[in-house]
Structure 1
Amino acid sequence: MELHHEFTVPVPVDDAWRALLDVERIAPCMPGATVDDYDGKTVTGSVKVKVGPITVTYRGTAVFEEQDESAHRMVLIASGKETRGQGTARATVTGTLGERDGGTAVSVRTDLTVTGRPAQFGRGVLAEVGDKLVGQFAECLARRLEEPTDRTEPPEPAEPLQPAQPVQPVQPIDLLRTAGPPVAKRVAIVAATAVLALVFVRIRRHRHA
């Protein structure tokens, strides 16, 4: 399935370009994602997706196949596989940046293929989830780009070391919560129908046994 999203960030296009290639800086803005390693071209990590009571973790890589700085165009090919299951996910993401009213407009086209449990929701649900996730990413990215990167004030006196705080686990992408009540209701109807069909099949098998 092909998805198309657009968002804007309040910085010049060259600044936005550098930021989007700074994977470690923007990683916290990626819902459900954990970056384990990045060598300038290949990203290795995982993405967690929650489907009702089930959490699915995909592990894989994303490779920058194209980084055209003059055209401000990048192509990213990502692929992953469920850590506990046979489901897979593969996406070719093409991002194009352009100037708009002093900021940057980002256009993202995604050619997505998903197998396994999340695939049961179909294009409509995944598109709505994608819209909201891109919106969350854009808001987070805008906040990060507005943060100063150079220190202009003298450093504060060093404080005694405090016990290390436990690292908070990355929260999975909750498909039902992210999609919203209307979509969740449709998904619930589909799920209920599937359960009833399964029960009916088992009853028939029991009767014929």
Structure 2
Amino acid sequence: MELHHEFTVPVPVDEAWRALLDIERVAPCMPGAVVEDYDGKTVTGSVKVKVGPITVSYKGTAVFEEQDEEAHRMVLVASGRETRGQGTARATVTGTLTAQDGGTAVSVRTDLAVTGRPAQFGRGVLAEVGDRLVGRFARCLAERLGESEAVADTAAQVGRPAEEPDDEPLDLLRTIAVPVAKRAAAAVTAAGVLVLVATRIRRRRNRWG
């Protein structure tokens, strides 16, 4: 399954490039992600995703196969296996950064393969979950890059620590509830229209007969 996402961050492209390679800094922006080790090329860690009352945990590695600083292009290959189960997840992520009006436009293409319990939700739902994950990541990253100093100053003035991003695992069922409900409503509406049309046709036939 291929996914494509785009977002912008309010810093120059060189700064955004360095930030995205600072794994320990950006990992907390991804819900449920934990980095255990990073040597500059290989990331070892885990990701948790809630499926209703069940939490699915993946443990694995992600390797930077390409880091082209001049072109601002990176390729990351990640693979993991459920810690309790037979499910697997594998993704090849290609990120490209482009200067845009003083900020940076980030384009992310993901080739994703998932087996196990999350796979039962299908391509469409997983794509919607991916949209929400990337959206949350982008907002968090933008805040960290563009507002971290302001947040730190405000926290110092009121005498409390700066607020950290939510590190709770993503609740998959809660995330897909709205899209699934919308699809169900659309299906019911379509069915209602078909029933209405069929009823009118039947009435006309009875009238003409």
| TM-score band w.r.t. shorter chain | 0.7 to 0.9
- Determine the structure 2 residue equivalent to 1:132: 132
Q: Which runs of 5+ in 1 are unaligned?
A: 156-168, 188-209
- How many pairs were matched up? 173
Cα pair distance change 1:174/1:186, threshold 3 Å: farther
Segments of 4+ in structure 1 off by > 6 A?
none
Percent identical residues: 81
Q: For 1:48, give the aligned amino acid.
A: K
Contact 2:80 2:89 in 1 (8 A): yes
TM-superposed CA distance for 1:179, in Å, is 2.5
Cα pair distance change 1:184/1:86, threshold 3 Å: farther
SS at match of 1:31: coil
- Determine the structure 1 residue equivalent to 2:103: 103
Cα pair distance change 1:8/1:120, threshold 3 Å: same
SS at match of 1:94: strand
Provide the alpha-carbon RMSD of the alignment.
2.4
- Determine the structure 2 residue equivalent to 1:60: 60
- Determine the structure 1 residue equivalent to 2:174: 177
TM-superposed CA distance for 1:27, in Å, is 1.3
> Following the alignment from structure 1 to structure 2, what is the Cα–Cα distance between the partners of residues 139 and 124?
23
Cα pair distance change 1:184/1:79, threshold 3 Å: farther
Q: For 1:177, give the aligned amino acid.
A: R
> Following the alignment from structure 1 to structure 2, what is the Cα–Cα distance between the partners of residues 108 and 180?
25
Contact 1:98 1:105 in 2 (8 A): yes
- Determine the structure 2 residue equivalent to 1:35: 35
Contact 1:177 1:184 in 2 (8 A): no
> Following the alignment from structure 2 to structure 1, what is the Cα–Cα distance between the partners of residues 28 and 141?
9
Q: Which runs of 5+ in 2 are unaligned?
A: 157-165, 185-209
> Following the alignment from structure 1 to structure 2, what is the Cα–Cα distance between the partners of residues 63 and 8?
24
Greater radius of gyration (CA): 2
Cα pair distance change 1:141/1:99, threshold 3 Å: same
With structure 1 as the length reference, what TM-score do the two structures score? 0.77
